[in-house]
Amino acid sequence: MTALFGRQDHAWFNALRREHYPPERNVIDAHLTLFHQLPPSAADELKRRLSAATRGVRAPRVRVTGLMSLGRGVAYRIDSPELEAIRAELAEAFAGLLSAQDSGRWRPHVTVQNKVTPVLAKTVLAALSRDFEPREVEIAGLASWWYRGGPWDSNSRHMFA
């Protein structure tokens, strides 16, 4: 499950991915993951809850606050108490179905580089940090996806008011 960016912010993050991600591994668009994995049996309930979380609801305020090292990659750190509240409510609803990764502390971020050498990752982190300025980004909606071993297939999209 991911948050969907507005057009301009989606384009900005995707341009960064194209520039820094190994091309053979860059098979999905830039995204902000809320949950990595839920069982297929939860798909209908997830759609219902995402619809309830977005229908008639103003989009959460979201801010890019810095960069973070992933060791073998780089990501932009995201801050949004409103989005964290949505995620916490969903985590509570699906508590018994969450993977260990999704049960732990959520570190919201957008990965723009991964699966590279630590030296290259440090170089990119330093370069991106030099010109970094915090900025607001638009979250247009929430989406769920099917992962079938390659690019993701859309399961549902739920747009904020």
Asked whether residue 130 is assigned to any structural domain, the reply reads no
Asked whether residue 68 is assigned to any structural domain, the reply reads no
Asked whether residue 125 is assigned to any structural domain, the reply reads no
Contact assessment for residue 78 and residue 65, using Cβ atoms and an 8 Å cutoff: yes
Nearest CA-CA partner of 121 in 53, 20, 17, 3: 20
Higher-pLDDT residue of 119, 150:
119
**CA angle centred on 51, ends 50 and 54, rounded to 5°:** 85
Asked whether residue 45 is assigned to any structural domain, the reply reads yes
Asked whether residue 133 is assigned to any structural domain, the reply reads no
Tell me the torsion sign for CA atoms 16, 69, 81, 47: positive
Instruction: Give the chain's domain count.
Output: 1
Nearest CA-CA partner of 8 in 124, 135, 114: 135
Of the ranges 57-66, 102-111, 117-126, 140-149, which one carries the lowest mean pLDDT score? 140-149
Residues spanned by the domain of 40: 2-60+80-109+138-159
Asked whether residue 104 is assigned to any structural domain, the reply reads yes
**72-127: per-residue pLDDT in tens?**
999 999 999 999 999 999 999 999 999 999 999 999 999 999 999 999 999 999 99
